[in-house]
Structure 1
Amino acid sequence: MNSKIPPTGSDRHPVAHSQTAQTNEEVTDTTGGDVTKVRRIAAASMAGTALEYYDFSIYGLAAALIFPTLFFPQSNTFIAVLASFGTLTIGYLSRPLGAIVFGHFGDRIGRKPVLVITLVIMGVASTAIGLLPTYSQIGVWAAAILVPLRFLQGVAFGGEWGGAILMAFEYARPGRRGFFASVPQVGPAVGTLLGNGVFLVITLLPEDAVLSWGWRIPFLISALLVILGLVVRLKIAESPEFTELNGTGTTARIPIAAVLRSHLEPVLLVCGGFLGYGAFSVVALTFLVGYSRSTLGLDSSITLTAVLATCVVQIPTMMLGGYASDRFGRRRIMTVGPLAGIAGTFILFWAISTAQPGWIIVGYVLGMGILFTSAYGAQPALFADSFAPSVRYTGMSLGYQLSNVVGSGMMPLIATILLDVSGSIYTVAAVIALALLVSMLCLLSLVRTAEENSAATDPTERSTTAPISAP
């Protein structure tokens, strides 16, 4: 199977500036001469991703804490929770469709317009969820309307992540791409921080108020956040590598066909590489929150506070991981990171099993915020490096979102069933640990693929996956 990247010149030559390519917008060359602008682009990409993750995170929390009561019959609590997590899964199942559709346009017409469109779709769907009537008002139609809105969320999300990463990655020079690509990866932590923060405030209301109108507030806030996100994204310039491709007429005509024909191996490796990370994240942020409340009888504010503290710690940890991959090489990070994640998994699950608020916070911060996150920020640059610029949006998005279907989308259902059958949350931890081992093997294979692709592009270039001196 051929996964070699054909020479495109995009990593070897300055971007060809065209008077017609941009109007009223500067384009920074790929040597990273304008560091300030690269930082601004990375920050803008992170802000947009944070808003989309805010929308996605509030749905996950609502699915764990509120939707089983509001949108599904209460004759069987287990079935109601399972159905609620089922709608959560739908959002993950639709992500690959978003990756293909928006990846196509991202590789054909540009990264920037796609990022604007996905932000609008996500915001509209989330706001509409906040306006929905409940099961007590319209019966099964409540869930019937909820499902397509969740589907739209997933489609938008499927096209968001890859574009945000590429805007930062393609603006930065090779020696700093690990770090700058990690900045949009901070978006999930920031978005989750916002989502959990809003839900934490909501839980201070009386339960009747939460179930009658309080649960709608996080979703309605999305409308305001989308407006702010659009202001940020409309001001950024198009990716310089795409501008070069478009100017020379070397964009792929049908990106998904090119990916399946010549880049299927890295797609599968990206899918496997993120498998354990997606599984851990969704279990920690949704399943364990619900488990702590419904099974252990803990107040939701305890786990929400723990997640808030974790997100704060994750922000510098992710960027440190990206920097470390530039400084010490990706192979080392991709070896140590998943093993640290396995240790973090069992630390977190042990902390949850104690039912002690203090230990739960420590378990989240240490297990998820530090150990699990250590290699998380280094992954985006590795994923992007594995594809030619002409199919990069489609290729990395498809692999990443397929992984989210298996690792993230199915895991709440799997965890719920495992807990019901075994009676122990450690069976869930064992499955996550196994998934992280698979991720480590795939990530190391992907490092080799990226090294081979770099050598194929120019044998005289030093691979960006190898250690470099500090910039």
Structure 2
Amino acid sequence: MPCPPSPPGPSPDGSAAAISAADEVPRSRVVTASLIGTSIEFYDFYIYATAAVSVFPLIFFSGADDTAKLLASMATFGVAFIARPLGAVVFGHLGDRVGRKTTLIGSLLTMGIATFLIGLLPTYQQIGLWAPAMLTILRFFQGLGLGGEWSGAALLATEYAKEGKRAWAAMWPQLGAPIGFFLANGLFLLLVLGFDHDSTNPEMDGVFLTWVWRVPFLLSLVMVLVGLYVRVKLEETPVFQRALANDQRVSAPLGEVFRRNWWELILGTFVMYATYVLFYIMTTWILSYAIGKTGDGFLGVPYAEFLVLQLVGIVFFAAFIPVSGMLADRFGRRPVLLIVTGLMILFGLTFGWWLNPETMGTGADVDVPRMVMFLVIGMMLMGLTFGPMSAVLPELYPTNTRYTGSGIAYNVSSILGAALTPFIAAWLVTTFDVAYVGYYLAAASLLTLIALFLAPETKHADLHAVTSARERRTAR
């Protein structure tokens, strides 16, 4: 059970010195540690997402049905999202009991080692069913690591932030998503172009499918070592230092967060839900739809050409994350997110107009400006909705269960909004038409809109408190 809330200042038992030492950590070091870690984690995650669409169906799965192999590959992609809530529990317990710094190092190593080992895996042609089995296991550990990474990086940023600037400070780990995506897909693009790989007519015995695809996975080890160095040099956050000095930790953060913060878990999950659906529609699903064969109802765009268009969209994703941070600090989290989520509903309702093969064109006749505009609008909305989340979710929870609570909400939402999205979207296209993917996004955004209406404004939440925003509001 938690101790009673501490007084506003640090206790005289040594916490003042601890907090002072933490406050002296240069802001640039905090920014670098939160940004580089999430950049690496998302890089690892995205190289798998890219390979799951363009490589893994060819070398890890058997059969003559290309759609079935793509769906099987997407299923392994979804395994990580099942692992992420477990990672949130495991690393959340450590983060709330041991500290943010140590836990962030553990999550980084878990993710990085699993990614490196994927680059060493034998294929289905070499060892049969053992290949997809081992791929699935390593994908599980990727998800386990990422389940503890995001919430730790978000807490690192917010718990060091100045009052009134938390959304701006919290946007730095969010920038790791577009940076990781850009690095992962940019590297894949260079390799595809450099080795003349044609995704529409792949050579099974060519160098790209033989060994070149492994390079991005193997290179992740170098990035992990850099991230490890940065995080080892970091101090613990001043908020956790105070909680530690005042003996405000709880013995079982998981039980405590379910007992006292169950409503915040529900709200946080659905506040984040539409963001996940939008992102994985605009990255993983749209890639499979764009490069899929025209005979199967897809657009038939060469992989390398479409990847360039996606990278253009990612620039707008990155550019609008800082914009959302500034807006959320000035106007509050709820007003900004309510407006953006409403725009996401409208965007979803226009998918049929944007992406129908008759209007978009296929193969060499695809309407490139139209596709670029679609990607840019989607990614602008993604930046605006994603940016404030690393402030909103941690602010919902008290200090002694913040790592666990924010991590569970974020990662349970990943199951609902990300693990199923590429699979459901691919099924909707083949069963109905592309407009239904947009309807799916609009429905998810409506659920998020309802959650935002029910959620409290957390702009002025006290991060040192050991009661949730709801409990403090009820007490008043």
TM-score (norm 2): 0.88
Query: Which shows bigger deviation, 55-64 or 198-207?
Result: 198-207
Tell me whether 1:374 sits opposite 2:384 in the alignment.
yes
Tell me the equivalent position of 1:426: 435
User: Unaligned regions of 5+ residues in structure 2, if any?
Assistant: 198-205, 293-297, 361-365, 462-467
Map 1:42-441 onto structure 2 (within 5 A). Answer: 42-204=31-193, 205-207=195-197, 208-294=206-292, 295-345=298-348, 350-353=353-356, 354=360, 355-368=366-379, 370-422=380-432, 424-441=433-450
Quote the Cα distance in structure 1 between the aligned partners of 2:387 and 2:5.
Answer: 26
Quote the Cα distance in structure 1 between the aligned partners of 2:76 and 2:470.
Answer: 44
Deviations 1:111-156 (A, max 9, x none): 0111111111111100100011111111111101111100000000
Q: Could you tell me how far 1:356 is from its partner in structure 2?
A: 1.9
Quote the Cα distance in structure 1 between the aligned partners of 2:239 and 2:196.
Answer: 53
Q: Could you tell me how far 1:174 is from its partner in structure 2?
A: 2.6
Query: Matched residue of 2:121: which SS?
Result: coil
Q: Could you tell me how far 1:48 is from its partner in structure 2?
A: 0.4
Quote the Cα distance in structure 2 between the aligned partners of 1:244 and 1:451.
Answer: 19
Structure 1 contact 382–447 (Cα < 8 Å) conserved: no
Quote the Cα distance in structure 1 between the aligned partners of 2:474 and 2:132.
Answer: 56
Residues 182 and 137 from structure 1, CA distance in 2 versus in 1: closer, same or farther, beyond 3 angstroms? same
Quote the Cα distance in structure 2 between the aligned partners of 1:17 and 1:371.
Answer: 47
Quote the Cα distance in structure 2 between the aligned partners of 1:338 and 1:443.
Answer: 9
Q: Could you tell me how far 1:216 is from its partner in structure 2?
A: 0.5
Which segments of structure 1 move beyond 3 Å, counting only runs of 4 or more?
5-10, 12-23, 343-353, 448-461
Identity of aligned residues (%): 33
Residues 397 and 98 from structure 1, CA distance in 2 versus in 1: closer, same or farther, beyond 3 angstroms? same
AA at the equivalent of 1:90: V
Q: Could you tell me how far 1:182 is from its partner in structure 2?
A: 1.3
Deviations 1:39-60 (A, max 9, x none): 4313320110010000000101
Deviations 1:353-404 (A, max 9, x none): 4132222122211222x13322321122111111000000000100110000
Quote the Cα distance in structure 2 between the aligned partners of 1:169 and 1:392.
Answer: 11
Aligned length: 447
AA at the equivalent of 1:363: F
AA at the equivalent of 1:185: Q
Tell me the equivalent position of 2:203: none
Query: Matched residue of 1:174: which SS?
Result: coil
Deviations 1:315-366 (A, max 9, x none): 2311211111111122210211111223444566644441322221222112
Query: Matched residue of 1:61: which SS?
Result: helix
User: Unaligned regions of 5+ residues in structure 1, if any?
Assistant: 29-33, 462-471
Q: Could you tell me how far 1:288 is from its partner in structure 2?
A: 1.0
Q: Could you tell me how far 1:99 is from its partner in structure 2?
A: 0.3
Map 1:32-43 onto structure 2 (within 5 A). Answer: 37-43=26-32
Structure 2 contact 397–469 (Cα < 8 Å) conserved: no
Quote the Cα distance in structure 2 between the aligned partners of 1:253 and 1:350.
Answer: 54
Quote the Cα distance in structure 2 between the aligned partners of 1:350 and 1:252.
Answer: 53
Residues 19 and 266 from structure 1, CA distance in 2 versus in 1: closer, same or farther, beyond 3 angstroms? closer
Residues 341 and 75 from structure 1, CA distance in 2 versus in 1: closer, same or farther, beyond 3 angstroms? same
